[in-house]
């Protein structure tokens, strides 16, 4: 397996914050698929979805996924919450590195994202219903897509990054 850590999970699960912390701990590069897409497109995800719909954004994710395979190793890759969902993507991610699912309860997501305005899929009324609906559908896919799941609800960034680093090192030694 490649020397990368891939973080997957729902919006608000802490992929970017934990990822930065973990990258620092491992002395790896931190990359964020949402940021890469925004940089390449020269516009925000909200704008991409507004102009071309969710389909346009998913196409960009797909293109990016192909380029991840060829990246030099030693990255912590934080992925957009919907990236592992399309068929085939989970397997590509597993080839890209050690995949960790940051498992987070809907209540925690709601709490963390209550004031958020950057996630078009949760915009508008009844955020809780949207979170629960999407999470219910995606949960089994996240579980399938990962090498290991870590519960994030009651843990801080340091604790989480330490837990992941420990398991990553164990996993590498086992191979
Ligand atoms: C999405 C999650 C977002 C972003 C986009 C769609 C999703 O990323 O990719 O708004 O489908 O769950 P985060 O998980 O980093 O919020």
Residues 151, 98: Cα–Cα separation, whole Å: 17
Does residue 34 line the site of ligand 1, with CB under 6 A?
yes
Cα(80) to centroid of ligand 1, in Å? 4
pLDDT level of residue 1 (50, 70, 90 thresholds) = confident
Q: What is the pLDDT of residues 136-150, one digit of tens each?
A: 999 999 999 999 999
Output phi, psi for 50, to 5 deg: -65, -40
What's the pLDDT band for 34 if we cut at 50, 70, 90? very high
pLDDT digits (tens, 9 = 90+) for 116-167: 999 999 999 999 999 999 999 999 999 999 999 999 999 999 999 999 999 9
What was the pLDDT predicted at 69? 79
Q: Say what the pLDDT of residue 70 is.
A: 84
Q: Is 18 in the pocket of ligand 1 (CB under 6 A)?
A: no
Residue 6 has pLDDT above 70, yes or no: yes
- pTM for the whole thing? 0.97
- Whether the predicted pLDDT of 174 surpasses 80: no
In tens, the pLDDT along 55-110 reads 999 999 999 999 987 899 999 999 999 999 999 999 999 999 999 999 999 999 99
pLDDT at 13: 98
Q: If you measure from the C-alpha of residue 121 to the centroid of ligand 1, how many angstroms do you get, rounded to a whole number?
A: 8
Rounded Cα distance between 126 and 148, Å, is 31
Longest dimension (CA), the chain: 48
Residue 175 has pLDDT above 70, yes or no: no
Q: Is the beta carbon of 80 within 6 A of some atom in ligand 1?
A: yes
Average pLDDT (33-37) is: 97
């Amino acid at each position: 397996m490649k020397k990368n850590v891939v973080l997957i999970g729902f919006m608000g699960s802490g992929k970017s914050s934990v990822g930065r912390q973990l990258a620092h701990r491992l002395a790896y590069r931190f990359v964020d698929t949402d940021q890469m897409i925004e940089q390449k497109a020269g516009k925000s995800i909200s704008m991409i979805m507004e102009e071309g719909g969710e389909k346009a954004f998913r196409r960009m994710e797909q293109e990016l996924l192909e380029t991840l395979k060829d990246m030099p190793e030693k990255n912590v890759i934080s992925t957009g919450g919907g990236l592992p969902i399309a068929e085939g993507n989970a397997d590509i991610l597993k080839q890209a590195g050690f995949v960790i699912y940051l498992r987070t309860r809907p209540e925690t997501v709601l709490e963390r994202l209550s004031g958020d305005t950057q996630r078009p899929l949760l915009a508008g009324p009844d955020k809780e219903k949207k979170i629960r609906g999407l999470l219910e559908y995606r949960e089994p896919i996240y579980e399938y897509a990962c090498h290991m799941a870590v519960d994030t609800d009651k843990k801080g960034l340091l604790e989480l990054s330490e837990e992941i680093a420990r398991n990553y090192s164990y996993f590498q030694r086992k191979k």
